[in-house]
Amino acid sequence: MAQNIYDNPDFFSGYSRLPRQVHGLDGAPEWPAIKAMLPSLEGKYIADLGCGFGWASRWMRDQGAASVIGYDLSQNMITRAKADTADAAIDYRFADLDILELPHASFDLIYSALAFHYVENFDRLARMIYDALIAGGDLVFTIEHPIFMAARHPHWILDEDGRKTWPVNGYSIEGERRTDWFTKGVVKHHRTLATTLNTLIKVGFKLIQINEFAPTYHQIAAIPELVEELERPMILLLSFRKPEA
């Protein structure tokens, strides 16, 4: 079973205070870029992997999705999502993405936000998702950018000119990373950009779009602290499609 850090009281307390959890999708600077990558949702059957508090699941129903099933490993997340949702067409289920099996050809879209970097066996997950999508179905997901998470001790440092710089080391050494974020020993799994892309392509997916998120100057004007996100990409956004039969 994957590490269930989101049910750790210290972690969950800190995580719940993040702007993206307090303000929902409007608190996630990358959300406009994600929306631009999504296909039409009208009448679609959708799986939301790592659904968290259910923000995206509810938004997708508001856009006309026929149904959304949200999956998450955290009981805290599922409990909160259910409490905040009054829609019979949204179902939340407890699931470990490392072992989750979805029904064959059951979804038009599989979506995930910042969850796949917690999955150890990405090849298994990619094959399972491919099988669960209908022909012509879409996979849209975000992960921590491998440049952001490669370092053993990711944090800002000052270079020789006194400029804030993000260290990139051990980039080609894939595997487990343990970092301290709200609590000690949060487990993630680093993969290079090439591994992520090639794993999905080899399964059969067609790459539609890739976006290395950076805030717009309009966003920086509204939230000045976002300016540091121009120094390195923190989030990788990807869109793939299962070819028509």
91 bridge partner residues: 69
What percent of the chain clears pLDDT 90, i.e. is strictly above it?
Answer: 76
Q: Is the pLDDT of residue 187 over 90?
A: no
Q: Is the pLDDT of residue 14 over 80?
A: no
Q: pLDDT (tens digit, 9 = 90+) per residue, 26-73?
A: 888 999 999 999 999 999 999 999 999 999 999 999 999 999 999 998
AA letter at 49 = L
Residue 86: pLDDT band with limits 50, 70, 90 = very high
Note the pLDDT of residue 155.
87
Tell how strand 107-113 and strand 45-49 pair up. Answer: parallel
Note the pLDDT of residue 1.
58
Count of other CB atoms within 10 angstroms of residue 31: 19
Find how far residue 62's CA is from the centre of its chain: 20
Residue 152: pLDDT band with limits 50, 70, 90 = confident
Note the pLDDT of residue 189.
94
| SS3 call for 159 | coil
- The label of the residue with tokens 């099996």 reads 101
Determine the Cα–Cα distance for residues 44 and 64; give it in Å rounded to an integer.
Answer: 8
| SS3 call for 161 | coil
- The label of the residue with tokens 């990373």 reads 177
Q: Is the pLDDT of residue 5 over 90?
A: no
Determine the Cα–Cα distance for residues 174 and 161; give it in Å rounded to an integer.
Answer: 31
Note the pLDDT of residue 12.
60
Note the pLDDT of residue 26.
85
Q: Is the pLDDT of residue 160 over 70?
A: yes
Cα separations (Å) of 159 from 71, 114, 121, 150? 42, 29, 36, 19
pTM: 0.91
